[in-house]
Amino acid sequence: MRGPEKVSSTNAQMISIAKLQKFVSERLGHASVVLTLDTYSHVLPNMQQTATDEIERMLHAAS
């Protein structure tokens, strides 16, 4: 995959992640994804690093 294709693929994967977050938020009865993430972010103390690692993995897999 090159240039635009890689970007499109990565964006599509990120949209999938956002849909999952929205699904979980709705299942918990929260008014917004922000509330869900703010409420439960302490459960995932390494969330920033995990997300960064996953994005890097997706970018490398798309290349």
Cα(10)–Cα(20) distance, integer angstroms: 16
Q: In angstroms, rounded to a whole number, what is the distance separating the alpha carbons of residues 3 and 39? A: 37
What is the number of other CB atoms lying within 10 angstroms of the CB of residue 25? 19
pTM above 0.75, yes or no: no
Q: Would you call 32 helix, strand, or coil by DSSP?
A: coil
- Domain coverage including residue 53: 3-62
In tens, the pLDDT along 48-62 reads: 788 888 888 877 876
Question: What are 7-62's pLDDT values in tens digits?
Answer: 666 777 777 778 888 999 999 999 999 999 899 888 877 877 888 888 888 778 76
pLDDT attached to residue 31: 95
Half-sphere exposure of 38 (CA within 13 A, CB side): 6
Total structural domains within the chain:
1
